[in-house]
């Protein structure tokens, strides 16, 4: 079975500071990994994805994430936070669950607040 | 604009009533999904469909049913709603299971 752990349900950063949102996963097979963002009263929007190509993945809005197999981590970073980055962020893992099917499992989410 | 639409946007429902949440996508994606989102629990998969004509159970299927008569539509039915089904429901689709999923705007359901 696969699982995702997001460390910190709520993270606060100052505007202009580094954003670091942590995600660790467990999967018995090579995973696909995703970060989604959810703005208030909206659906989820894909930020970036890892699908076994480059380990450093660049996404939209200046975010990037690095896949570290040895640490089973896929942390999300952004060098300089903007007020518009305030949202909830979800890490997700997708891996084969047999018979050609896949399961996408989400972490519980991290709410990012940006302080002016 | 291509994407996923959900209806209704929100609904207040009396316990015991039957309710169908609608989901339509125009991206010709094979796979579709229903999730519920609850505070502190993240998104949990209710049911999924790998392709038209097939469905499967997710993590929390009890009290819900789905059908997939064609590629575009994936309705979710609550046969007899209970207050614990109060939640925000998201429909999603992907070109196949394992690829990134695209989400609809959600339906906020309150069961009293």
pLDDT digits (tens, 9 = 90+) for A18-60: 999 999 998 767 778 999 999 988 899 999 998 877 889 999 9
Q: What is the DSSP letter of A70?
A: T
Closest residue to B98, CB basis, from A44, A90, A102: A102
Rounded-to-integer distance, Cα A44 and Cα A52, Å: 23
Instruction: Give A101's pLDDT tier (boundaries 50, 70, 90).
Output: low
How high is the pLDDT of residue A32? 87
Comparing CA positions, the residue from A75, A63, A85, A110 lying closest to residue A15 is A85
DSSP tally for chain B: helices H, then strands E: 0, 11
CB contacts < 8 A (A, B):
51
Q: Which of B43, B46, B107 to mutate to test the interface with A (most CBs of A within 10 A)?
A: B43
Cα-to-chain-centroid distance, residue A32 = 12
Rounded-to-integer distance, Cα A79 and Cα A64, Å: 9
- Asked if A108 lies within 8 A of B42 by C-beta distance, the reply is yes
Which residue on chain B is closest to A32 by alpha carbon?
B98
Which residues of chain A lie closer than 8 angstroms to B43, CB-CB? 44, 90, 106
Comparing CA positions, the residue from B111, B79, B98 lying closest to residue A104 is B98
Residue A71 vs residue A96, higher pLDDT: A71
pLDDT digits (tens, 9 = 90+) for B37-80: 998 888 999 999 988 999 999 889 999 999 999 999 999 999 99
Q: What is the pLDDT of chain B when averaged over all its residues?
A: 93
Asked if B59 and B47 touch (Cβ cutoff 8 Å), the reply is no
Minimal C-alpha gap between A22 and chain B (Å): 15
**Lowest-confidence region among A6-20, A94-108, B7-21, B92-106:** A94-108
B34 touches chain A (CB under 8 A): no
Instruction: Give B7's pLDDT tier (boundaries 50, 70, 90).
Output: very high
């Amino acid at each position: 079975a696969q699982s995702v752990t997001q460390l910190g349900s709520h993270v606060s950063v100052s505007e202009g500071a580094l954003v670091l949102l942590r995600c660790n996963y467990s999967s018995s097979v090579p995973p696909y990994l995703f970060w989604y963002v959810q703005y208030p009263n909206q659906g989820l929007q894909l930020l970036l994805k890892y699908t076994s190509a480059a380990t450093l993945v660049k996404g939209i809005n200046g975010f990037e994430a690095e896949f570290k197999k040895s640490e089973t981590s896929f942390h999300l970073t952004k060098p300089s936070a903007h007020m518009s980055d305030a949202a909830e962020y979800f890490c997700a893992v997708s891996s084969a669950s047999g018979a050609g099917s896949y399961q996408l499992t989400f972490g519980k989410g991290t709410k990012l607040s940006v302080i002016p | 604009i291509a994407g996923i639409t959900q209806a209704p946007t929100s609904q207040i429902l009396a316990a015991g009533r039957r309710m169908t949440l609608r989901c339509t996508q125009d991206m010709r994606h094979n796979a579709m999904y229903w999730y519920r989102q609850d505070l502190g629990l993240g998104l949990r998969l209710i049911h999924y469909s790998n392709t038209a004509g097939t469905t499967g159970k997710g993590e929390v299927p009890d009290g819900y049913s789905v059908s997939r008569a064609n590629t575009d539509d994936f309705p979710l039915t609550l046969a007899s709603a209970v207050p614990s089904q109060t939640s925000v429901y998201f429909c999603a689709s992907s070109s196949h299971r394992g690829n990134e999923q695209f989400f609809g705007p959600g339906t906020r359901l309150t069961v009293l």
